[in-house]
Amino acid sequence: EPEVTQTPSHQVTQMGQEVILRCVPISNHLYFYWYRQILGQKVEFLVSFYNNEISEKSEIFDDQFSVERPDGSNFTLKIRSTKLEDSAMYFCASSGPTSPETQYFGPGTRLLVL
């Protein structure tokens, strides 16, 4: 069964450094998302992406964040200058054309900012 994959599974970085989290969505999916989950808290929506542009973003998704679909298969989340409070599990998700409401999540990248 097709699945969403994410790399790396864990990332440790120093405050102020840039990080890029990578995702490979399910191949025929058209809608892509990033969510995050701070330890012990709810899963929070960050951004949705469709037709090569951001379709919606939350207030968390400020100028330090950006997303890109560089090559038609990968979907990346970049944090330009990480803060301690960016430490969280980051989930990529995708959904297909026949049931766009149903999102399929990757296993996540655990980001720790020191």
Question: Segment contacting another protein (CB under 8 A): 13-21, 65-73, 77-85, 103-111?
Answer: 103-111
Cα–Cα distance measured from residue 98 to residue 75, given in angstroms and rounded to the nearest whole number: 21
Helix (H, G, I), strand (E, B) or coil at 85: helix
Candidate residues 7, 22, 45, 76; the one interacting with another protein per rule CB under 8 A: 45
Question: Segment contacting another protein (CB under 8 A): 11-19, 20-28, 48-56, 62-70?
Answer: 48-56
Q: Say whether residue 33 binds another protein (CB under 8 A).
A: yes
Q: Say whether residue 65 binds another protein (CB under 8 A).
A: no
Candidate residues 75, 88, 106, 113; the one interacting with another protein per rule CB under 8 A: 106
Cα–Cα distance measured from residue 28 to residue 82, given in angstroms and rounded to the nearest whole number: 32
Contacts of 103 (CB under 8 A, 6+ apart): 31, 33, 93, 94, 95
Return the residue matching tokens 């992406």: 49
In the complex, minimum distance from the CB of residue 73 to another protein, in angstroms, rounded to a whole number: 19
